[in-house]
Structure 1
Amino acid sequence: MSWKFKLNKTFLKEGSLKNRLITNNSNIVNFNQTKLLKLDNETTQWATATVICGDKERLVNPPQKLKETYDAVEHWRIRRQKGLCWEPKHDDTIERQAYAFHDLLNNKESNYVPLCSDDYCFARAFNFINKENGEKFWPSLIGHETNRIQEMEYAIKEAEDTGNITSKDHRVVQALAMWGVINNKKLVFKNPSSVNKSWPKFWDFLASVKIKKTTNISNNKINKSSKKYEKLSDKKIMSLISDEIDKESNTISLIPSENVMSELASSAYTLKSNNRYVIKSKIGSRYFMPGRENLGKIIAILEHKLCSIYDVEFSITKGFSGLHNMDIVMSAISKITKKIIILDIQSGGHSKTKGIALKHGFEVDILNLDFGTWDLDYKNLARIVEKWKEEKVFIYLDHTVSVNPLNIEKLIKNIPQTWIVYYDISHLQLFYFTHIFKFPKSQNFFFGGSTHKTFPGPQKSIVLLNNKKLYNLVDSEFVKNTSSVHTGSLLALLITVLEIEKFGVKYAKDILEKTKLFANLLNKELNVFGPLPNLTNTHQICIDAPNIVQITQKLAFVGIITLPMRIPSKNRSGLRFGVQELCRLGLKNKDLQILSEVIIACVKEKEINLKFKDQVKSLAKKLTKIHYVLPYRTLNFRYRKVKKS
């Protein structure tokens, strides 16, 4: 500010600034933001300062902290225009760490992923990241209050050796204090007040957590000491299952990652074949297991059909889920390269991708979406290509929150021929199966994903390839990591393939048409965002809404099941809907009118009218018949053809 307005000020460094190397050149007020971001180990603080001083430049894909500054200035501007006071910003960084800490405290698996440099200390303390990747992702870490790379290593050693933490860095102190609680290690902090910089109530938070933890231990309510369910009789347990069945009949799922199988496909799980092993022989490519040749033949038919439908040379059906695919594919490709590009969570990427990539030793770079086109940001990609053009690189695209399919043909034209691309199409599987969405045929491109989202099959996953070397590499990794191929689910998948081969185009078009209609109905009063003019080109709808936890609870109360989900371009959770399951259950356009009215009321009104609960229940009772099915009931006692009424 002083340099900007040519004020002759003398600056005194105090506290943690005393030993911090900071640019002392008044000419930087003439730098653009891109140039400012290169100063002092790529800290965002100089660029943030110029925005606060009135700079109107807005980078297309700014670092997270700079984007938060853009949002804050815009929020201030809008509030001033309306004659209102600004509202304090919710600290997403601390909230995410608190939730992850809570999961760890309760022995739950945490899907925490460090997103910015302020996440590093917490992530390092709990092994979500290592020192080397911290240095690669955030060079600015060495220029914070401390050199956080070194400070964390020293603090971890202090915690393990003496229990006396001498750091003055607020993030380091917070991370080690939480580490101490999780590991039942009593730590003494020389500078406890340092936490006030970012989390003034931190010690109150930790004290309440400790009390809860102690209470839980004393009451034997954690881990294996829990006796909560010991006295439940088989009758009570069966009653609970019955209650869940009844609840399902009164509710509607709008979760985009769920669907329903036909009765015929589901019946595959009731066969003895469901529990049978089928071991593929090393002789040629046929299945060989005495007495199980027919099962092997059926699985071979499935793989042949998948190759034919997707127009590929090879298919793999050993996967159990999209996440299992991710783990195996990355493990395989890590044998030929250690460079990977993944899709940013802020652009709809999967929350687990970065963690699994780090687990397999990849050096990770992040690719964003261009929210003008809702396709990949090719300026961002060009920067990465320039950096790694001489390297062999793996691009792994897991587009979890997807309102627009990615243009893979354009991507392949913009990368070196030696690079390998995998596209996880779990959410869009149906549309590629039916060729409504299309892929280029390329040796360095392969794809796959789960088979139970838009594609209404079992909890399985597939991989499809045209490159024999890649096929052998990935398939051998599956073989090393799986025993049973889960025969029942493969039979269910084959039946679903037959159903969607016959009815899939009609089903897919119905989903896309109704999703666009639903988006427009909701957009009349809510903030639906996505590619114009339709707001969505897939089965997903994204809505930016406040108080998302309360809203999902309201929706659940009236019988609409959904999940909060981080939405593209927004650094917060919102609503994400999908009607693929309802379309298979016979959803009509008039039903969408009812649903949109209920959802709008849940978002905008404080109290919910009980009539909405009755409306949803009535709709759920109506949507029970599964459509787009073959004319057979079950596989038991041979198939039984459905009688025409």
Structure 2
Amino acid sequence: MTGQPFGAMGHLLVLIRADGGVREICKEERELKMADISELRKAIREFRCHEKSAESAVNLVPSENKMSPLASMPLGSDYYNRYFFNDALDPDFWQFRGGQAAAELETGLAVRSLARLGRAPYVNVRPISGMSAMMIAMAGLGGEPGGTVVSVDAASGGHYATADLALRLGFASATVPVAQGRVDEVRLERVLRERAPKLVYLDLQNSRHELQVSRVAELIAAHSPRTLLHVDCSHTLGLVLGGALENPLDAGADTMGGSTHKSFPGPHKGVLFTRSGEMHRKLRDAQFKMLSSHHFAETLALGLAASEFLHFGQAYAEQLIGNAQLFSKLLGAEGFDVVTDDDGHATSTHQVWVKIGNAARTDSLSRALYDHGIRVNVQVDLPGVPGPLLRLGVSEFTFLGGREAAVHALVKEFGNARSDIRRDGKGSLRVRAQYGPPHYFADLP
């Protein structure tokens, strides 16, 4: 249909169709269509405005990160619309040819780069999120329905959905507490002895401490040697692949994985690693039955992000830990109530927790920081600390070039927001003015 009226009869408009025929629409319908177009134009303007604001913001949400310009390229490409199933590159199996030209960016670049980073010869890049990776790992490694899957108690910092997901997949669920990154050994040993679980799924998401994996592996070997150990390092994946935290596979885990957009600066995807061909087949079998489209463009973006990370990952991960520790120290010196252990330890990861007061005071500071262009995350159920709190992370800040000078500027803006001064909307700009070179290729080689 051309959409052009060629005549009017009372309240009816006559439109020419593409096939040469005509259709009559009433005046009210035409006005409604015009209103819809007006709303669409308004939405586009608002989107562009918010996008411009985001470009100057400082984001401190620990479960979010930003991709580099290079890694972002596939998301605006034709490959976003395409399927790709032929990861064996079988010349007789090109049922969907839309992704053929870029296939080796997944099967070669993405898998090869991630394998080097994870020091694991087997990598599955098909999960579409951290939860997708969780489902695949649990279904692939948990054995037959009815067996027990052990996970971290949500009250100790485990993911809220893990235990329930085990039940929904037909497993029995048992949880273990974790304190300061250490699993309760007495509780775990009892579960291992009494229930001989098929899988221990360690998934510590809310934690200022590095998860201690080796002792868990030792307990499994001693008390239930047929139990498999999977470590979900969604929050710390960038720190693990950058070498700042221990690789769980080195500590005795059979498999590891998680989401790729928290401390790792990749797209919203998931990934699974193992050094065992048998485990790889188990994960692959579960993935094949539980996942159709794996979001090809995001997988290409993951490959580009991983390739860049080979060049920048170690420096980024080390700087990230340093920034988090300096941030917590300076906030404390500024009078903020930073959560620490009895010995004064604030963080070994990318997360910094700050107590502000009651919900009204916490929300007020969050709003004030937002007015300064600084985005924070409020949580009410962090382990061991009655909420609400600010759960802060410096992953994106570090990835974009934040170093010591920028940390000092950031803490100053926290003070400005608390004191309700200089609310000129330029706080994030003052922080970003102190950024150094980013941890990606600003100018492609």
Indicate how the Cα distance of structure 1 residues 530 and 336 shifts in structure 2: closer, same or farther if over 3 A, else same: farther
2:131 to 319, 323, 337: 323
Aligned residue for 2:48?
A: 242
The structural deviation recorded for 1:458 is: 1.1
Aligned residue for 1:360?
A: 169
Structure 2 runs not aligned, ≥5 long: 1-34
The structural deviation recorded for 1:456 is: 0.7
The structural deviation recorded for 1:243 is: 1.8
Contact (CA 8 Å) 1:318, 1:461: kept in 2 or not? yes
Aligned residue for 1:465?
A: 274
1:407 to 201, 212, 217: 212
The structural deviation recorded for 1:365 is: 1.8
2:183 to 357, 364, 376: 376
Aligned residue for 2:433?
A: 622
Letter in 2 for 1:515: A
Contact (CA 8 Å) 1:251, 1:620: kept in 2 or not? no
The structural deviation recorded for 1:428 is: 0.9
Higher relative contact order (CA 8 A, sep 6+): 2
The structural deviation recorded for 1:592 is: 2.0
Indicate how the Cα distance of structure 1 residues 549 and 393 shifts in structure 2: closer, same or farther if over 3 A, else same: farther
Indicate how the Cα distance of structure 1 residues 613 and 403 shifts in structure 2: closer, same or farther if over 3 A, else same: farther
How do 1:133-532 and structure 2 match up within 5 A? 232-280=38-86, 293-301=100-108, 302-336=110-144, 338-371=147-180, 374-388=181-195, 391-415=196-220, 416-438=224-246, 439-441=248-250, 445-524=254-333, 525-530=335-340, 532=343
The structural deviation recorded for 1:483 is: 2.4
The structural deviation recorded for 1:300 is: 1.5
2:400 to 571, 575, 585: 585
Letter in 2 for 1:570: V
Deviation digits for residues 273-309 of structure 1, max 9, x if unmatched?
A: 3322222267989985685554332222121332233
Q: Is the radius of gyration larger for structure 1 or structure 2?
A: 1
CA distance in 2, matches of 1:366, 1:290: 43
Aligned residue for 1:555?
A: 369
CA distance in 2, matches of 1:253, 1:502: 24
Letter in 2 for 1:529: V
Indicate how the Cα distance of structure 1 residues 242 and 422 shifts in structure 2: closer, same or farther if over 3 A, else same: same
Contact (CA 8 Å) 2:111, 2:125: kept in 1 or not? yes
CA distance in 2, matches of 1:295, 1:426: 27
The structural deviation recorded for 1:576 is: 0.9
CA distance in 1, matches of 2:252, 2:428: 50
2:346 to 521, 525, 535: 535
The structural deviation recorded for 1:366 is: 1.8
Indicate how the Cα distance of structure 1 residues 267 and 242 shifts in structure 2: closer, same or farther if over 3 A, else same: same
Letter in 2 for 1:260: K
SS at match of 1:426: coil
Letter in 2 for 1:273: Y
Letter in 1 for 2:76: T
SS at match of 1:611: coil
CA distance in 2, matches of 1:305, 1:593: 34
Contact (CA 8 Å) 2:338, 2:346: kept in 1 or not? yes
Letter in 1 for 2:430: L
Contact (CA 8 Å) 2:150, 2:197: kept in 1 or not? no
Deviation digits for residues 59-114 of structure 1, max 9, x if unmatched?
A: xxxxxxxxxxxxxxxxxxxxxxxxxxxxxxxxxxxxxxxxxxxxxxxxxxxxxxxx
Contact (CA 8 Å) 1:249, 1:621: kept in 2 or not? no
SS at match of 2:325: helix
Deviation digits for residues 46-68 of structure 1, max 9, x if unmatched?
A: xxxxxxxxxxxxxxxxxxxxxxx
Indicate how the Cα distance of structure 1 residues 616 and 282 shifts in structure 2: closer, same or farther if over 3 A, else same: closer
- Please provide the CA RMSD for this pair: 2.9
Contact (CA 8 Å) 2:374, 2:428: kept in 1 or not? no
CA distance in 1, matches of 2:185, 2:121: 30
Indicate how the Cα distance of structure 1 residues 601 and 335 shifts in structure 2: closer, same or farther if over 3 A, else same: same
Structure 1 runs not aligned, ≥5 long: 1-228, 634-640
The structural deviation recorded for 1:570 is: 2.2
SS at match of 2:363: helix
Contact (CA 8 Å) 1:249, 1:620: kept in 2 or not? no
Structure (1/2) with the larger strand percentage: 2
CA distance in 2, matches of 1:285, 1:445: 33
SS at match of 2:236: helix
Indicate how the Cα distance of structure 1 residues 428 and 285 shifts in structure 2: closer, same or farther if over 3 A, else same: farther
Deviation digits for residues 231-258 of structure 1, max 9, x if unmatched?
A: 7532211111112123214432110111
CA distance in 2, matches of 1:631, 1:246: 19
Aligned residue for 1:576?
A: 391
CA distance in 2, matches of 1:451, 1:444: 19
Indicate how the Cα distance of structure 1 residues 300 and 442 shifts in structure 2: closer, same or farther if over 3 A, else same: farther
CA distance in 2, matches of 1:625, 1:248: 19
Deviation digits for residues 319-375 of structure 1, max 9, x if unmatched?
A: 11111111222233344362122112222111222222221122222211234xx42
SS at match of 1:233: helix
* TM-score normalised by structure 2 residue count: 0.81
CA distance in 2, matches of 1:351, 1:395: 16
SS at match of 1:318: coil
Indicate how the Cα distance of structure 1 residues 393 and 434 shifts in structure 2: closer, same or farther if over 3 A, else same: same
The structural deviation recorded for 1:534 is: 4.0
CA distance in 2, matches of 1:232, 1:295: 39
1:546 counterpart = 2:357 = yes
Deviation digits for residues 447-484 of structure 1, max 9, x if unmatched?
A: 10111111111111100112333322221222223223
The structural deviation recorded for 1:429 is: 0.9
Q: Between the two proteins, what is the percent identity of the paired residues?
A: 22
CA distance in 2, matches of 1:519, 1:454: 17
CA distance in 2, matches of 1:254, 1:500: 21
How do 1:78-93 and structure 2 match up within 5 A? none
Contact (CA 8 Å) 1:287, 1:296: kept in 2 or not? no
Of the structure 1 ranges 360-369 and 259-268, higher mean CA displacement relative to structure 2 is found in: 360-369
Letter in 1 for 2:79: S
**Aligned length, in residue pairs:** 398
CA distance in 1, matches of 2:244, 2:372: 35
SS at match of 1:384: helix
Letter in 1 for 2:387: R
Indicate how the Cα distance of structure 1 residues 375 and 250 shifts in structure 2: closer, same or farther if over 3 A, else same: same
CA distance in 1, matches of 2:425, 2:96: 56
